Structure 1
């Protein structure tokens, strides 16, 4: 079936379903969305149930846009928007795009522009005929959010053309019958890191994640495998979350000719850009050749199509994607693939935390159908039980108090995304309530910027916390004690020789970045404390120190001794990981209804994947596998 025929048929179907007084000028695909252009946008807005009815009937996401000339002038529209939206919404900026009839409204309280069940939004559309996209003004200034929004604004024309091409590919007729689904493992099997998989049907190839391996330079996903090649032939990429062991090498795809979409949540898109650019910076500082350029990072951002939790999205002629909260970091998702018309269902868990934390609601495990699940196993060993959260927090308080009493400094290697914000909440509350003395908490590396991105997307945070962030006088992340280390090495030296404090510093696994300076400055003094609160992967310096190796080598020390003996106190506190522990992983599966028929245990070392797969088989009578890299599994 040709594209013209497809559009003609769709146009005719839509015209027969809408009331005769509504005009349908043009029908276009833009990515997964079906866009209806109309010269009567105000009348469409008056029929509030019509779009939902069309979406259900056509089984597609439907967007209504005014045909050129069908909307009021930008100046008249701005006047009406400000008149209808309540002053309390605090509209900061409006950007008009006449060619597509859209206006982006930035407001401090976007919910008030939208109104209850979209009532205010519909009223504005009825009055002006423009489509509104409402975005939140971040409570904390974020250069990343600003840069991404500005960049996508500049690229709006090219993006529209790109979305049109993607839409045609998604909504084409499948060429072959669905007889099988295959999964090929390109990384993170019997190891932590370089997560990457290919999901393959007779019509479609989808890449899920494309990360690096912490502490193992040069070990990248097996992208040269026949199931992945050619990279230009991949139909879509799905990213579960922004951590570098899942996202670091996505820009490499664009370097080698990939020109398709990346599906992920909006906060993951922003965090992905932040972490990838830092990845390039760290590589350059350490004298390594970066694997790609910042231009390829921009390409990845430009090709990202954001999806919200729970939205069913067509990403190929025979595949629908639904993302669900994974409870791991901001925007992290479990990716559910519905293949064919009920033919098969596969879930990639991503990294999951099943219980709620201070930051996030617990991972969703309620799916209508899952025949096969690809499941993380980071803490899959029999003894991998994390301390109760309350007990963990008390232990952190205790270590900080003891170090403070000795006039020492506590330095915590922390991932910029996730663990840092969790600890900030713990420390802010403890100081506010007097559990530990109030002292400066220095944020080194990207932690402050990552925190600002968290505040830009409060709807992805735990119930209750989002409300605190939206009230300026209650936002815990802007407490006075949090201070950014922005004075380089000179500032670090001043802090290290000063009063007791807490330092949160990247990198979380001590693989580079500012934490190396802190070890050099604080390591020789036994009154200081190094406190691990996150997972330390095999092969990382963090794992070696945690295991008792206190003789370390500092990078880039050609002009002086590069060996250092750590004299400071070394502590590890579990309970803060973004991963479910062994009990949580078992509970996650045990409470699924229905449970998968098959589970592939990945993203864990050999012991973890082996012991978790055995336990799940014995406890729940499901088929389990402990794959190796470069294995292919065929279903059903």
Structure 2
């Protein structure tokens, strides 16, 4: 079926394919989905294959919704649902939305609500006529997940109208034939940070990522470039993952009039909101003018359309998007764009980790077609390699143990999302198995909240870890040694003067946040240790300390700048980065089949992008570039 098919054509197709006893009241595009409203939802649910057959025939994602008035009353429906769903599912709450005929079921074990191949959901619809949506109750209470769900619930009517508008745009007819694809670099070329690109066809402009640059206030993506302006005319935004160097400035688009969709994974949506609100908080505390307000953060969340790994999703009349696991952080994705009717395929790798970690399965590089790839190069220099995992963990054990024996405290600057959870798993196992003495592990900043979001989406975690959390009731993130720093500076002072412990603290690159207090409290004592386990970008205080600077500027309590002399031990352990090292990046390309014809090496300093670009060209005979910002590439 062509994309310019009218509602009338679709209605006729569906009514001709559906059995005569099934009613089709209305068809309506809502975002990338085609929604069929029916007065016979029970009968639709009885035929488990019919919906799939219609979706394949139309080449659309299809949802069935009951027409108003065809359902049991909410009171009757709740009783029936609780009878249908096994008690082991542990339903926590049910919310009914009569205007769209949906019931939201929150349960500790949503798989039991869904049932084998969706059988229990179909039975619910058959019995009560309501369309059921299922969400997981986070094992650790998450204010972010709760706030996002509540906000989207309150704005359900407005969001439905937004999705209708997006649906009409997506499924309209392309104005022009697709004869070219252009990619313009708006940031993160020959640098790390402010990731942003425009993918442009004769009909469509898609913005991929819109981040800040760590340690470089004021250096933002080149959104004023002709390929990006006016921002109000951008058709869609795709976000690869939630780290601020990719997501921080997305709300700025809404400040300047953008009103379209953001496509990303569900956990990325939640993490994005958490990190952006903290970004505003840090700016305010440091006396800087925030670039946007919390209202724009809420707008970004309301305009987010979640996509699951592997789902082919129409995002424009001439572009289909598929997100694949990138192995970097929770919900991180490589974005595959299928442009035109097989005209050209472009992959934005995002940040990738090719080998599996404790947290995640390794990045997917199995794309049906990928003529062009825009690829990260953070560790692309010759000699950039990560210590193997076992050795890295042994080094961490040793450093913490040596500090413990001196009655010292080990403080680890860590990103709230990704490395903190990786380290929590390492420390929990080491203490459980006796490789480290059991001691408190304090979580400062947003780490506990980010961890709670991880537990809300275990299906995005590595297979074995997901199995432990979902089916074996062994959740390592809730081990008793993990304690939240929730008493402010007074609690930090108490911890610093107390027993040996480990502290995981944001910010990961020592650019602000609670880590600054820990430097002041722990830095003067040579028995303590500062342990770096993540990338420290050029220009950040973390990079200066890691490079040997022990005299560092600190904002004095009186407001005047002064200096702090660091006397504690300073160590770095590689192997915990969420990025693939040089060998991993090369292997990622080597094992692609087919390989891209062209690769743009981005998201790395000039040496990293140049050296990786050269190596990929020499070894795999692909065209490679190390672009500068504000370059445009035309394909084919």
- Structure 2 match to 1:388: 388
Q: 1:5 to 1:435 in 2, by over 3 A?
A: closer
Q: d(CA) in 1 for partners of 2:417 and 2:351?
A: 13
Q: d(CA) in 2 for partners of 1:307 and 1:200?
A: 21
Deviation at 1:531, TM superposition (A): 0.3
Correspondences of 1:397-408 after superposition (within 5 Å): 397-408=397-408
Deviation at 1:421, TM superposition (A): 0.1
- 1:53-96 CA distance string (max 9 Å, x none): 11111111000000111111111111111011101000010000
Deviation at 1:469, TM superposition (A): 2.0
Task: Tell me the secondary structure at the aligned position of residue 442 of structure 1.
Answer: strand
- Structure 2 match to 1:32: 32
- 1:297-333 CA distance string (max 9 Å, x none): 0000000000000000000000000000000000000
- 1:166-214 CA distance string (max 9 Å, x none): 0000000000111100000000000000000000000000000000000
Q: d(CA) in 2 for partners of 1:357 and 1:208?
A: 26
Task: Tell me the secondary structure at the aligned position of residue 422 of structure 1.
Answer: helix
- Structure 1 match to 2:355: 355
Task: Tell me the secondary structure at the aligned position of residue 182 of structure 1.
Answer: strand
Aligned alpha-carbon RMSD (Å): 1.1
Q: d(CA) in 2 for partners of 1:467 and 1:539?
A: 41
- Structure 2 match to 1:232: 232
- Structure 2 match to 1:314: 314
- Stretch of structure 1 that moved more, 123-132 or 272-281: 123-132
- 1:241-265 CA distance string (max 9 Å, x none): 0000000000000000000000000
Quick check: 1:152 aligned with 2:148?
no
Q: d(CA) in 2 for partners of 1:289 and 1:472?
A: 48
Q: 1:9 to 1:428 in 2, by over 3 A?
A: same
Deviation at 1:472, TM superposition (A): 7.9
- 1:543-565 CA distance string (max 9 Å, x none): 11111111100135445662011
Number of aligned residue pairs: give it. Answer: 634
Structure 1 unaligned residues grouped into runs of 5+: none
Quick check: 1:585 aligned with 2:579?
no
- Structure 1 match to 2:332: 332
The answer on whether the counterparts of 1:96 and 1:104 sit within 8 Å (CA) in structure 2 is yes
Deviation at 1:4, TM superposition (A): 12
Q: d(CA) in 2 for partners of 1:399 and 1:505?
A: 17
- Structure 2 match to 1:216: 216
Correspondences of 1:606-617 after superposition (within 5 Å): 606-617=606-617
Task: Tell me the secondary structure at the aligned position of residue 198 of structure 1.
Answer: strand
- 1:311-364 CA distance string (max 9 Å, x none): 000000000000000000000000000001101100000000000000000000
The answer on whether the counterparts of 1:139 and 1:470 sit within 8 Å (CA) in structure 2 is no
The answer on whether the counterparts of 2:27 and 2:37 sit within 8 Å (CA) in structure 1 is yes
- Structure 1 match to 2:55: 55
Correspondences of 1:526-565 after superposition (within 5 Å): 526-555=526-555, 557-559=557-559, 562-565=562-565
The answer on whether the counterparts of 2:33 and 2:62 sit within 8 Å (CA) in structure 1 is yes
Q: d(CA) in 2 for partners of 1:204 and 1:235?
A: 6
Q: d(CA) in 2 for partners of 1:331 and 1:28?
A: 29
Q: d(CA) in 1 for partners of 2:562 and 2:521?
A: 13
* TM-score (norm. length: structure 1): 0.99
Task: Tell me the secondary structure at the aligned position of residue 416 of structure 1.
Answer: coil
Task: Tell me the secondary structure at the aligned position of residue 19 of structure 1.
Answer: coil
- Structure 1 match to 2:567: 567
The answer on whether the counterparts of 1:139 and 1:472 sit within 8 Å (CA) in structure 2 is no
- 1:86-144 CA distance string (max 9 Å, x none): 01000010000111100000000000011111111111111111110000000000000
Quick check: 1:92 aligned with 2:92?
yes
- Stretch of structure 1 that moved more, 484-493 or 552-561: 552-561
- Structure 2 match to 1:281: 281
Q: d(CA) in 1 for partners of 2:46 and 2:483?
A: 50
Task: Tell me the secondary structure at the aligned position of residue 93 of structure 1.
Answer: strand
- Structure 1 match to 2:624: 624
Deviation at 1:468, TM superposition (A): 1.9
Q: 1:398 to 1:138 in 2, by over 3 A?
A: same
Deviation at 1:9, TM superposition (A): 1.3
* TM-score (norm. length: structure 2): 0.99
